[in-house]
Amino acid sequence: MLVLLAAAAGCVDAASFLGLGQVMTAAMTGNTVLLGLALGQADAEGALRATVALTGFVAGALVGATIVDRGPSGVIWAPAVTAALALELVVLVALALAWHVLEGGPAWSIDYRHPLIAAAGVAMGIQSAAAQRVGVPGVTTTYVTGTLTTMAARLVGWLRSSPAAPGDRVRDIGAPWLQASVWIAYGAGAVFAGAAHLWWPTVALPSGVAGLAGEVRWPSAALLLPITIVAAVILIAALVYRRRPASA
């Protein structure tokens, strides 16, 4: 399920970059670089957007950590993790609805992107805290630098087929397929957002639905993918781990 969450994060990150002023709301390493570039180039607006994203992410991580820390220890997927993801889902739905309304409305005298950036950062911070609570070594869902490093280490250990010596973590940490899957999923989520940005025109809904929802518009419509993924993960977790809390 961490692989699915990585795809959701990649999509949110790419949609934010393309639709909210070239800012990242999941990968804070890259966003820190964007903040540094904006400061170095005296780009006040760019620096403000990056700062809002960082602040939102940290706030979300604090909220998520507060929720998941209440769960029992020694459990791979505690109910508190599902609760944190449920809160992330609420934030993502609110973000998509607000984005849909704001991007289709009249021209605004102020930059409405800042609260959207903050909301996206909060959602990704919550997810990051929840994924960390699951405790799979070297696997994160909102950034992949550490995941790639762990994948490389596990690949070396997997290729060295001799038995592991006591304490040799490089040899004894298993094959790198999970880390590779998370990396691919993160990129696939970004591919979806990029393809939607390129190919997705304004799609008119059927007449009966159009009266309620108007039109499906980019970029807010790209959030349908992460919303669906997070909802599916919550449902799977509720069904699988409800009676087997200690199973992998």
pLDDT at 39: 95
In a domain, 248, yes or no: no
Q: How far apart are CA 26 and CA 6, in angstroms?
A: 10
Q: How far apart are CA 219 and CA 182, in angstroms?
A: 24
pTM here?
A: 0.83
If you average pLDDT over residues 161-179, what whole number do you get? 56
Structure tokens at 123: 């959602």
Q: Which of 9-23, 51-65, 98-112 has the lowest mean pLDDT?
A: 98-112
Q: How many domains does the chain have?
A: 1
Name the helix (H) or strand (E) containing 118: helix 113-134
The percent of residues in the chain predicted with pLDDT above 70, rounded, is 79
In a domain, 40, yes or no: yes
The percent of residues in the chain predicted with pLDDT above 90, rounded, is 48
In a domain, 8, yes or no: yes
Is the per-residue pLDDT at 7 higher than 70? yes
In a domain, 138, yes or no: yes
The SS3 assignment for 88 reads helix
In a domain, 113, yes or no: yes
pLDDT at 218: 72
Is the per-residue pLDDT at 209 higher than 90? no
In a domain, 247, yes or no: no
Name the nearest CA neighbour of 82 among 197, 236, 221, 207: 236
In a domain, 14, yes or no: yes
Strand 215-216 versus strand 203-204 pairing type: antiparallel
Q: How far apart are CA 227 and CA 41, in angstroms?
A: 36
In a domain, 246, yes or no: no
Range of the domain at 44: 2-240
The rounded mean pLDDT for the chain is: 82
- The three-state DSSP-derived secondary structure of 129-152 is HHHHHHCCCCCCCCCCHHHHHHHH
